[in-house]
Amino acid sequence: MSGEGTREGRRPAGGGPQVRETYPTGADYSEALRDTTLCFAHPAVARGQVAMGGALRMPRVVSGNFGSVFRVTSAEPGAGREIAVKCFTRAVPGRLRRYRAIGEALRAAAGDWRVPVEYVPRGVLVHGTWYPVILMEWVEGTGLIPWLEEHLDDPAAIGALADRFADLVRDLEAAGFAHGDLQHGNIVVRPDGSLRLIDYDGMYVPALAGLPAAEHGHRNYQHPARGPRDFGPGLDRFSAHVIHLSLRALARAPELWRTYHEEGGEHLLLKGDDYADPTASDRFASVACAVPELTADFARLAHWCREPVAAVAPLVPPTLPPVPCRAEEGNLRLPGWLAEGLAAQQAARTAHEAPPQPGHTPGPPPAPGTARPGPGSGGTAGGDTQGRTQPPAAPGEQVRPARNSAARGAGRGQGNSPGTTAPQPGHAPGPPPAPGTAGHGASAGGTAGGGTPGRAQGGGRGSPAAQSGRAPGTARSGVRPGGGRATAPSAGASRVSPPAAGSSAAPGTGPGSSLGASVPQSGVGANSYSSTSPSPSPVAAFAPLGRADVAAVRWTLAVWATGIAAAVGGVAVALVGWWILGLPVALGAAASLALTYVRGTRRLRVRYRTTPEMLKARTAEWEAEVARVAAADASARLQEADAEVLVRKGALGEIGVRQAAAATALAERHRFEQERVQQRLDEALRSVEQRRTALEGSGAREELEALRRLQERMLDDGLARHGLPVSLLGARLVAELERGGIRTAADFTRVTSAVPTSPELRDQAVVSGPGRSVKADGIAPSVARRLQSWRDGLADDLRVRLPGALPYDAAQELHRRRADRRLDLNRQAARARTSALAELEAMEDERAAEEQRSAHAAAADRARAEAALRDAEAAAADHRAEHAAAVARGEAARAEALRYRSLTYRRYLAAALRGR
């Protein structure tokens, strides 16, 4: 077997780039395994009996992803154990290193899930070349899908199998292992119900850390974002969740199998397309909602489909964190049906587990979309804006105002019934609260607060009485946005008045309505608080007027009254007939009244405008206008800042898009270059193979040619020993032929005579030899014939004694030359592979360097974009605080100006007449 090669020996180990090798097909292995004495060298399977099948009695084969598996009964003395022999049909980078590490790890591991394996580099002989094989115990049992089809009418057995599978996954991850391709075809259910895992081609063990994954696993069980770099102890988490969830769902609803498992399908209930976009998958939605108690788990699986592979949690963690399902949390991107189902499930679970409150009769669990009753003490329930129950404040504790103006404006809705919230006019009810968060709370007989979607509402933070637990009407000091205690307002400042107990403010009214209407939703910063709208302020009144003002008003009015009386008297006199006397009096009185009215009114209005109250009123109006303009400017700056934040967020998102596009282009270019290298390698190997085929078929032809040349050489040597016959030709003709180079029988092969055409010419003959012809005169045709006959007779005698085969030394020389040429062809093929490997390794290095440069550039761009976004968000927060403060100042200034609107000119005159 000196000409046999070992395929694995010509392949470099490790995880670097590999040249595509050609392995036998399953049919080639089947043909070779017909004789296990010749094809196997390992003592466990040599001379073993291969399981046969089919009409032609060929070895029964089970085809897999990387090879074909045969069942062989060992011929070793003993029990005749069954062995599974896996023959590879595809190349795997670093297979020898991987299986050595896997075999050692499995031998040291605990658990009955494992099947020991042995990697045999010189495993099976096919077409004169040894190929590696994997030897492992043949596991008797049933595949997962056939087992499920047999036990669909036994939900308890399926549930028990799910528990055993969870234990298997726990043991696997506790050992730091990952199977790499958890799917139905690699799980065997033994007759006793225990589980075995087979096919360890893609397994991860700690000794393989740093290598890329050897395979990607079955797409119907793997995370949609799994790639070659995802190779670690958490590799099986997603597929474990898929299998475990499917088993639990079938244990509760076996009819799902007939609906969602396709006949002969390579999946359980869900398929790979369902993981790519769970929100758009009808199959995912139907399966998730078919079993309500598993809705949360399917929601978690849908969430993990959009996250990296490393974000998937273990199958059996100590505690599972709650899954938020609020519709406004765009990062989860859960569909509405999952959010509602998850909320309904959590509400039912909370209603079942929560202890009843003293004096409170628990009712049925609320439907999705309704608020959940919360603990209270008979008053308005307090809740914060994050969906968590706000505990009552201690006496004297400062209460921070509500952060959300919309919550303040609609924070006091009349409760319809315990545990429900009536939607306010113009306000749509929000989605149900997330699992693990408190619902909207109001005890029986109190008022429930409606609020923003997904947030618990009580009396609202705008209700001090509700938050502090005090009785309505109990006074307490307010709190400034900064957290300090508010001072008592001045005469022109507004005061916060808590509402009466049991009252409910209409939408848009009550505390916070005025400011909430003028401030947009984005106008309240994270670190600022909007103040409540002031209650009606005391109406301003004129201070007691001075004596000069009272006297001036009274004197002017008295003059007006006298003039009016004179005018009226003159008119009356004229009417009774004394017009000559009455008309001048009436006209004079009217003129005097008009002049006095104009001058007096001017003086009185001057006195009215110069009163301290009117001076304060004009100042308040001016301040209100200044505050309005400042609030408008602050609003414009806030809009610009928010627009800048959106621009920065878009720029940050574009960086990721550009990086992904660059990575795709780099991968495509790398793939194209790899294909070019592979194409050149294939052409070189094809040329070498053609020459090798020609070499193998030329052995007999070369031996015949060598024998012919040897016979010609021996014939020439024998003829060269016989000189020209002088007795036949004479001394003159012999001398003439010798001068022409014809000396022996070996120097010519043919003699041709030429008949003379005239009597004057003598006889001629042409003596032809290898590469020469000599004309000789005087050779008659009869002499020429005798010369030719002499030469042919000598040749015939010599041919009888020539050898019929090559001598041994000559034959061995030919064999040696062919072996040298065969070795040279092998070297050319090896050089071609080495050159291709070097090119691929250089390409890998270049790609890694380019990826690193691209990643560094993207990281720098992302850092700059994030810094710019932080600056923009900080500026927006500052502008938002400024806008809120400007609006508050405008409200206060406007309220102060309104106090003086009642100080009219008429009231001034009335006050002067009254003398106060």
The CATH number given to whatever domain includes residue 88 is 3.30.200
Region for residue 536 given its phi and psi (left: phi exceeds 0; alpha: psi -120 to 50; beta: otherwise): beta
As given in the structure block, the two tokens for residue 495 are 């005061």
As given in the structure block, the two tokens for residue 398 are 């400062």
Round to whole Å and give the CA distance between 433 and 454.
5
- pLDDT band at residue 330 using 50, 70 and 90 as cut-offs: very low
Round to whole Å and give the CA distance between 451 and 410.
6
Same domain, 71 and 219: no
Same domain, 161 and 293: yes
Q: Beta 129-137 vs 5-6: how paired, if at all?
A: parallel
pLDDT at 58: 74
pLDDT at 313: 92
- pLDDT band at residue 154 using 50, 70 and 90 as cut-offs: very high
Residue 776, in any domain of the structure: no
pLDDT at 489: 36
Domain boundary among 610, 633, 665: 610
pLDDT at 87: 93
Region for residue 32 given its phi and psi (left: phi exceeds 0; alpha: psi -120 to 50; beta: otherwise): alpha
As given in the structure block, the two tokens for residue 554 are 């009274």
Q: Residue 152, exposed/middle/buried by CB under 10 A (0-12, 13-18, 19+)?
A: middle
Q: Which phi and psi angles does 369 have, rounded to 5°?
A: 100, -10
Of the two residues 600 and 885, the one the predictor is more confident about is 885
Render pLDDT for 97-121 as a digit per residue (tens, 0 to 9): 888 899 888 888 888 888 888 889 8
Residue 428, in any domain of the structure: no
Which one, of 368, 347, 373, lies nearest residue 446 by Cα?
373
Residue 44, in any domain of the structure: yes
Beta-carbon count within 10 A of 537 CB: 17
Which one, of 140, 110, 96, 116, lies nearest residue 7 by Cα?
96
Q: Residue 100, exposed/middle/buried by CB under 10 A (0-12, 13-18, 19+)?
A: middle
Which one, of 227, 143, 230, lies nearest residue 183 by Cα?
143
Please tell me the least confidently modeled range out of 78-92, 589-603, 810-824, 873-887.
589-603
Same domain, 125 and 177: no
Round to whole Å and give the CA distance between 72 and 52.
10
**String of DSSP letters for 366-432:** PPTTSPPP---SSSPPPB-TTSSBPPPPPTT---PPPS-HHHHHTS-PPPSSTT--PPPTT----PP
Residue 192, in any domain of the structure: no
Query: What percentage of the chain exceeds 70 in pLDDT?
Result: 69
Same domain, 84 and 213: no
Of the two residues 280 and 239, the one the predictor is more confident about is 239
Residue 150, in any domain of the structure: yes
Render pLDDT for 230-275 as a digit per residue (tens, 0 to 9): 999 999 999 999 999 999 999 999 999 999 998 888 999 999 999 9
Same domain, 126 and 231: no
Same domain, 167 and 304: yes
Round to whole Å and give the CA distance between 882 and 891.
14
Residue 167, in any domain of the structure: yes
Same domain, 33 and 86: yes
* Mean pLDDT for all residues in the chain: 74
Residue 28, in any domain of the structure: yes
Same domain, 107 and 169: no
- pLDDT band at residue 226 using 50, 70 and 90 as cut-offs: very high
Render pLDDT for 46-64 as a digit per residue (tens, 0 to 9): 888 898 876 566 788 887 7
- The residue behind tokens 């969870």 is 166
- pLDDT band at residue 339 using 50, 70 and 90 as cut-offs: low
As given in the structure block, the two tokens for residue 877 are 């927060």
- How many domains does the chain fold into? 3
Same domain, 154 and 218: yes
491's enclosing H/E stretch is: none
Same domain, 162 and 305: yes
Cβ pair 677, 844 in contact under 8 A: no
Of the two residues 271 and 552, the one the predictor is more confident about is 271
Cβ pair 486, 417 in contact under 8 A: no
Of the two residues 325 and 806, the one the predictor is more confident about is 806
Domain boundary among 582, 610, 638: 610
CA distance to 245, 287, 337, 346, 734, per residue, from 284 (Å): 12, 5, 11, 20, 110
- pLDDT band at residue 181 using 50, 70 and 90 as cut-offs: very high
Same domain, 173 and 248: yes
Residue 444: pLDDT over 50: no
Domain boundary among 610, 632, 651: 610
Domain membership of residue 604 as a residue range: 547-610
Same domain, 32 and 119: yes
Residue 301, in any domain of the structure: yes
Render pLDDT for 384-419 as a digit per residue (tens, 0 to 9): 433 333 333 333 333 333 333 333 333 333 333 333
Query: Starting from the edge strand earliest in sequence, which strands make up the sheet with 195-197, in order?
Result: 142-143, 187-189, 195-197
| 800 contact partners, CB below 8 Å, separation of at least 6 | none
Residue 80: pLDDT over 60: yes
Kindly state the average pLDDT of the residues 124-139. Answer: 89
- pLDDT band at residue 717 using 50, 70 and 90 as cut-offs: very high
